């Protein structure tokens, strides 16, 4: 069975080659690689060599943009971006547990279990979650229609610090004042509202979880998975990122030369400080690939 054509009323003509058969019921199919969702088949019997079947789209699956959060894992810092995308893109936010220590492999499984059960996806990996989004895109090429990476990396962005990974358990992650964290993550784009949101997100995750995620960053390398990603890729780069160096973006382009890079004026917390500009680039990408 294959889809021959489609009209504006979302009625598709499918051609069966072989003996006529009953074709009523509900099925799932694809058109040009895009998931159609639930479809109803009505049979039109022609010559025994072919059967034309009218396929009417019942409840189409829209492409869902799945947001994978930064190191805090709360997902609450996505609020400005979700608001900017409201009514334009269907969005789902993945949230990581706040307490148990877990590295990339565990969080990847949790993220995978949190994905919508059906329909095509576009994954956005912010900062810490870039490697998770990459691995999911590599492992689910049939569902992932696009990959967006924001202020993130394929491998440890500071290889010189990898020898310190076993000392991360001593890192005083919960005693760093919010104003210092804001200076690093928001820079001159800091506002009282953004600083408060950042402080709330960091307060919502345990010290052990933060330390385990920091340790995971110092040993991560998903270059092999990234090379297997077949979906279109968008990389959002912040002009004033004090956390992820520009070399991380260079590695992304070296492995995936076709990746599109968009630089936006903003800090490491780009999606929070420049949600309108980021949403515009994301929406254009979603429309192009979805």
pLDDT in tens, 83-141: 999 999 999 999 999 877 789 999 999 999 999 999 999 999 999 999 999 999 999 99
Is the Cβ–Cβ distance between 144 and 137 less than 8 Å?
yes
The residue assigned the tokens 């294959």 is: 2
Angle at which helices 192-203 and 178-185 pack, to 10 degrees?
110
The pLDDT-based confidence of 240 (bands split at 50, 70, 90) is very high
Strands 64-68 and 121-126 come out as: parallel
**Between vectors from CA 235 to CA 255 and to CA 94, what angle results, nearest 5°?**
110
The pLDDT, as a whole number, for residue 158 is 86
The pLDDT-based confidence of 32 (bands split at 50, 70, 90) is very low
pLDDT at position 222 over 80? yes
pLDDT at position 257 over 80? yes
pLDDT at position 8 over 50? no
Q: Which of 167, 191, 170 is nearest to 179 (CA)?
A: 191
Cα 165 to its chain centre, rounded Å, is 27
Cα 88 to Cα 50: distance, rounded to the nearest angstrom? 41
Is the Cβ–Cβ distance between 147 and 285 less than 8 Å?
no
Q: Which of 165, 171, 148, 184 is nearest to 278 (CA)?
A: 148
């Amino acid at each position: 069975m294959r889809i021959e054509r489609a009209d504006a009323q979302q009625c598709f003509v499918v051609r069966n080659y072989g003996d006529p058969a009953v074709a009523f019921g509900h099925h799932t199919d694809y058109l040009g690689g895009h998931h159609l969702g639930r479809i109803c088949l009505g049979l039109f019997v022609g010559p025994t060599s072919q059967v034309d079947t009218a396929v009417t789209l019942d409840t189409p699956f829209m492409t869902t943009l799945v947001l994978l959060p930064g190191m805090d894992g709360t997902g609450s810092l996505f609020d400005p971006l979700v608001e900017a995308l409201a009514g334009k893109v269907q969005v789902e936010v993945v949230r990581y547990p706040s307490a148990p220590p877990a590295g990339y492999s565990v969080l990847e499984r949790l993220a995978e279990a949190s994905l919508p059960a059906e329909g095509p996806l576009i994954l956005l990996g912010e900062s810490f979650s870039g490697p998770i989004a990459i691995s999911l895109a590599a492992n689910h090429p049939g569902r992932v229609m696009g990959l967006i990476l924001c202020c993130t990396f394929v491998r440890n962005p500071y290889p010189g610090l990898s020898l310190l990974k076993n000392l991360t358990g001593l890192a005083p992650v919960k005693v760093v004042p919010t104003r210092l964290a804001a200076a690093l993550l928001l820079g001159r784009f800091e506002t009282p509202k953004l600083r408060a949101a950042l402080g709330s997100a960091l307060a919502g995750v345990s010290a052990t979880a933060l330390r385990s995620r920091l340790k995971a960053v110092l040993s991560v390398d998903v270059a092999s998975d990234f090379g297997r990603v077949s979906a279109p890729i968008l990389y959002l780069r912040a002009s004033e990122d004090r956390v992820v160096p520009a070399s991380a973006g260079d590695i992304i382009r070296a492995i995936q030369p076709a990746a599109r890079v968009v630089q936006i004026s903003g800090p490491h917390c780009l999606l929070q400080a420049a949600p309108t500009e980021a949403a515009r680039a994301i929406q254009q990408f979603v429309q192009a690939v979805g």
